[in-house]
Amino acid sequence: MDYEVLRKRMVEEQLSRRGIKDQRVLDAFRKVERHKFVPKDFESTAYSDFPITIGEGQTISQPYIVALMTECLRLTGREKVLEIGTGSGYQTAILAELAKDVYSIERFRSLSSNAKATLHELGYNNIILKVRDGTLGWKEKSPFDRIIITAASPRVPLPLAEQLKPNAKLILPLGEKFSQVLTIFENIDNKLDSRQICSCVFVPLIGKYAYQQ
C-alpha cells in the first residue's frame, strides 16, 4: 500500500476541502506517518476519515479533528506546548513538527510506552512524555504557551489554567461525557476568554479535576 499517496489524499480531501488552511499544519499532516501510530490490524485504514481504536478503550482521533485543534493553536515554531492525553502519540508528533518543545501526559502506561517507541523510531527529540493524571498539569515545566487537552472535560482543570503563560491558548472538548463543544481559551489579563469552535465527541478526561473514574 502506498501510504504517501494515501496521506496526500487525506490532506486534500479531509483537511483542505473542509477549510484547514495553515500551510505548516497541512505540511505536517503530509509528513507524519499516521499508519505507524495505529495497531498493525488497522494500518490499512489509518488515513480514513474516522477515529481508530488504540487499546485500553481509547482512540486516535479522526485526522480532521486533530488538524482543526492544531490549527486553532496558531503555532509558529517557538512555543512550549503541553498535551494532555498522549494516546497513540500521533497528535504529539504533529505538535512536535510545529512547536519548539512538546510535553505530553497520558494516564495509561501501556499507551505512553507504545507512543514513546513510535516517536523514538521516527526520530523526534523535542518531546518528553510522562505517565500521570494530566489534570494536575506539569508544574515543574510550566508555564506553557499552549495547552491541548485531547479528552472531554466538564471544565478547564484548574491546575492547567494556572500553568498558562499570559496570552497563551488552551483548547479542549468541553462538556458532557458523550457530547462536547470544542472550545479555545485565551489567557488575557489572568482571565480566560473563550470561543466555541464546533460540536464534537471525545473519550472522557478521567482525573482529579475532570471526570471521576
Q: Which of the residues are catalytic?
A: 61
Question: For ligand SAM, how many residues bind (rule: CB under 6 A)?
Answer: 25
- Residues 6 or more apart whose Cβ sits within 8 Å of residue 19: none
Decide: is 70 part of the binding site for ligand SAM (CB under 6 A): no
Decide: is 87 part of the binding site for ligand SAM (CB under 6 A): yes
- Enter the C-alpha cell of residue 120: 523514538
What is the amino acid identity at position 100? K
- The dihedrals phi and psi of 212, each to the nearest 5 degrees, come to -85, 160
Decide: is 201 part of the binding site for ligand SAM (CB under 6 A): no
Question: Least CB distance from residue 37 to ligand SAM, whole Å?
Answer: 6
Decide: is 175 part of the binding site for ligand SAM (CB under 6 A): no
Decide: is 84 part of the binding site for ligand SAM (CB under 6 A): yes
Q: Which helix H or strand E contains 94, and what residues bound it?
A: helix 90-98
The whole-angstrom separation of Cα 129 and Cα 103 is 6
Coil vs helix vs strand at 64? helix
Q: Which member of 64, 108, 124, 144 binds ligand SAM (CB under 6 A)? A: 108
- Enter the C-alpha cell of residue 207: 482525573
Instruction: Bin 73: left if φ > 0, else alpha if -120 < ψ < 50, else beta.
Output: alpha
> Are 43 and 60 a contacting pair, CB within 8 Å?
no
Decide: is 133 part of the binding site for ligand SAM (CB under 6 A): yes
Decide: is 43 part of the binding site for ligand SAM (CB under 6 A): no
Q: Which member of 7, 34, 36, 107 binds ligand SAM (CB under 6 A)? A: 107
* Only segment of 120-128, 138-146, 185-193, 197-205 that touches ligand SAM (CB under 6 A): 197-205
- Contact footprint for ligand SAM (CB under 6 A): 58-61, 84-85, 87-88, 90-91, 105-108, 111, 133-135, 150-151, 202-203, 205-207
